[in-house]
Amino acid sequence: METRRLVVFMIAAVAVFIAYNYVINRWLPAPRQAAQPVSEFQQFPTEPSPADPTPLTSASAPATDMTFTAGVPQADVTIGGEAHKLRLELSQRGAAVARLTLTQRKKNGQYVHRAHATGNEPLTLLTPVADGDRLLNSFATSKVRLEHLGREFPLGDLVWQLVSSDPAAGVATYSATLRRDDGQALLELRKTYALSAAAPLVNVTIELINPGDAPATVSLLQDGAVGIPSDNLRMNMRRVFGAERTADGAVALKNVSRDELHRKLPNPSPLGSADPKARFLWTALVDKYYGIFMRGVGPGGEDADIVRGAQATVGAVGVATDQGDALARLVTRPVVVPPGGSVAQRFEICASPKDHELLRAINAAYVDPLKLNYVAVKNADIACACTFQPLPQLMTWLMDRIYLVVRNYGVAIIFLVVIIRTLLHPLAVFQQKSMYRMQEAMSRIQPKIAALKERYANDRMRLNQEMMKLWGEENVNPAASMVSFIPLFLQMPILVALWTALNTDIHLRNAPFDGWWIKDLSSPDALISFGGAGLTIPLLGILPMFRNIPALNVLPILMGVSMWLQQKYMPKPGMQARAAAAAQQPPRQRKPGEGPSPEDMMKQQQMMANMMSIMLPLMFYYMPSGLNLYWMATNVFGIFESIRIRRQLERDKLAAKERGTPPPRPKSSFMSRWFRQLAEQAEQLQKRADRLSEQSKK
């Protein structure tokens, strides 16, 4: 009856969970904040520049209207490539970057950053994002604001004029001109992309040219990166970061995901604080392994305070699905452009893995906590994913050292299992010996327990007192079965740390184990790919994990089988002894409220073990194959370890039987003494209560 109730309860819980997800996802979408959008420039107000006495209002706007003239549409320009670390495909619309590809090669000609574990296709880190009938590109100059006129003009969809391009040198220049209706030019913008040959850097220079006869105060709204492609085989960790230097000199980070931004629509999310003493440093779009950083720089590449604020927003507002359209938008400080002169606004873009050593090789300031501190985005990922600090760094360091010897990260993970389980072996021996002693003790005192239950069947309080007294006298600790969970508890931080390392360490991306089955330890093994939209399991398809399954992952299934085998070989302390003792007694009718029989408890325990062997592979189905490999190797190691310890205990038991030595009684422990004290205290309290009851009757 108890087993049936447990099964019914678990089925009902799963049904409620499925119904809840169906209702929430289908009929109750996440609410948005009802608010009217305001201009990005108004999000970061500023005082008029002292050099420009013109008030920042529209009172001095000319009577005629103004507009930017569009350029002549041409084919997209591609700059960079083999001689550079990056390749950019540029778009005239917004003078933006349509695609950014990492093109650094090794000495053998293989790309350092490949799109897939197999093949030699370079990784395209940024791609256009579809927003209805238009494409959203990276680093577009979205708007320009003439502060002295109090007017702003959109530039993101404007077709800029291609002025010049030199693909081999990695340079291209675009221009856009603001004119009055009578054709008079009021402001010209020249935007130049220049690639660095020595590092994965892009220098973006926006030159503001004033052909008029009066000074102009200009601010820009500059987009950051957008469109990191989603890898269905890996977890989505795309976020937008902003960093600012606080008044005490520290670098403070703020990050937001696309889901958070979509819930806040139409309001953007500030990437800085409201502290006027804080100075904005940089913004970044990151995924699990890479980051695209953007900051303002001076003429010599030095850090420059040209950004007064930044905010994160969603580019494709009308699209509900996450297609990587989260981006940051920078608002520059107003600059005064003298008549007939020009002022340049410069930005630096760095596209690199979020790795300490790789970032240091580009610029030491990227990893300096007191300077730019780009590497803080990886530290933030590790801190969010793993609270057991600094275990992820230790796991990465240990695997890297093992890799230097075995030259395979999959083998390094197996060696890591051997090292950890060897260190935990004394605890495993102690655990299983304690469990077997518990089993022997429970087998010995089972008749006494049955007699107590028969004697005090109608007095639950007295039964508990006598049970504690019996445990104390026999030196039996009923909580000894909890010892079996200690190795699992000790390995959980290691498991989480390994998962964090697989999701953040660039060296584990595309790292193969055998090359034909487990091609990438940082993603599921995907032995058989379903292609297209994947496979959806009928009825269960309302849950995300059973919908659009991209591939058949065999490693989690093997991990579940190994877990089931390990549960089979592990002893069940007390349960087997009680079930065996109860089986030798004649059958009897169980009384109401007596609780489940030992046989029922054994069945429940076995059923829970079987269900865990099913539920855990489902939970680990989309986990990295390196994590499943670690857990499966741990289970296999545990199986052989249990067999070896069990055979040793059986040999010791057989040798003691041949010598005629009785099984040793458990030594007195803290728990047994504590149970004796509890029983004595309960007995004294019972006697006192009886005396008080007799006195009250007299």
CB 262 within 8 A of CB 320: yes
Per CATH, which fold does 73-380 belong to? Beta-galactosidase; Chain A, domain 5 (2.70.98)
CA atoms within 13 A on the CB side of 440: 15
- Residue at token pair 């004119």: 179
Distance separating alpha carbons of residues 664 and 666, to the nearest angstrom: 6
Q: What is the pLDDT of residue 306?
A: 93
- Residue at token pair 């040198």: 169
Q: What is the pLDDT of residue 325?
A: 85
User: In sequence order, which residues have a C-beta less than 8 Å from that of residue 34 and are 6 or more positions away?
Assistant: none
Strand partners, 256: 240
What digits encode the pLDDT tens for the residues 281-311? Answer: 999 999 989 999 999 999 888 889 999 999 9
User: In sequence order, which residues have a C-beta less than 8 Å from that of residue 293 and are 6 or more positions away?
Assistant: 282, 283, 284, 349, 350, 351, 352, 366, 374
Strand partners, 347: 204, 296
User: In sequence order, which residues have a C-beta less than 8 Å from that of residue 121 and are 6 or more positions away?
Assistant: 111, 114, 115
Secondary structure letter of residue 322 according to DSSP: -
Q: What is the pLDDT of residue 163?
A: 94
Helix axes 575-584 and 425-455, enclosed angle (nearest 10): 40
CA atoms within 13 A on the CB side of 190: 14
Q: Which residues of 45-77 are buried (b: 16+ CB within 10 A; e: fewer)?
A: eeebbeebebebeeeeeeeeebebeebeeeeeb
Cis bond before residue 390 (omega within 30° of 0):
yes
Distance separating alpha carbons of residues 355 and 361, to the nearest angstrom: 10
221: left (phi over 0), alpha (psi -120 to 50) or beta: beta
Q: What is the pLDDT of residue 63?
A: 42
Secondary structure letter of residue 535 according to DSSP: B
CB 54 within 8 A of CB 60: yes
CB 179 within 8 A of CB 251: no
CA distances from 16 to 8, 146, 675 (A): 12, 57, 42
Distance separating alpha carbons of residues 351 and 395, to the nearest angstrom: 26
Nearest by Cα to 379 from 504, 520, 228: 504
User: In sequence order, which residues have a C-beta less than 8 Å from that of residue 190 and are 6 or more positions away?
Assistant: 163, 173, 174, 175, 205, 206, 207, 209
Distance separating alpha carbons of residues 226 and 285, to the nearest angstrom: 7
Distance separating alpha carbons of residues 570 and 518, to the nearest angstrom: 29
User: In sequence order, which residues have a C-beta less than 8 Å from that of residue 609 and are 6 or more positions away?
Assistant: 564, 567
What digits encode the pLDDT tens for the residues 319-366? Answer: 767 678 889 999 999 999 999 999 999 999 999 999 999 999 999 999
CB 428 within 8 A of CB 566: no
Strands 129-131 and 134-136: antiparallel
- Residue at token pair 């021996």: 429
DSSP for 600-638? Answer: HHHHHHHHHHHHHHHHHHHHTTTS-HHHHHHHHHHHHHH
User: In sequence order, which residues have a C-beta less than 8 Å from that of residue 680 and are 6 or more positions away?
Assistant: none
Three-state DSSP string of 204-239: EEEEEECCCCCCEEEEEEEECCCCCCCCCCCCCCCE
Three-state DSSP string of 64-100: CCEEEECCCCCCCEEEECCCCCEEEEEECECCEEEEE
Low-confidence ranges of the chain (pLDDT < 70): 1-38, 45-64, 231-235, 320, 322, 384-388, 472-488, 539-545, 569-606, 661-683, 685-687, 689-690, 697-698
Secondary structure letter of residue 374 according to DSSP: T
411: left (phi over 0), alpha (psi -120 to 50) or beta: alpha
User: In sequence order, which residues have a C-beta less than 8 Å from that of residue 132 and are 6 or more positions away?
Assistant: 316, 318
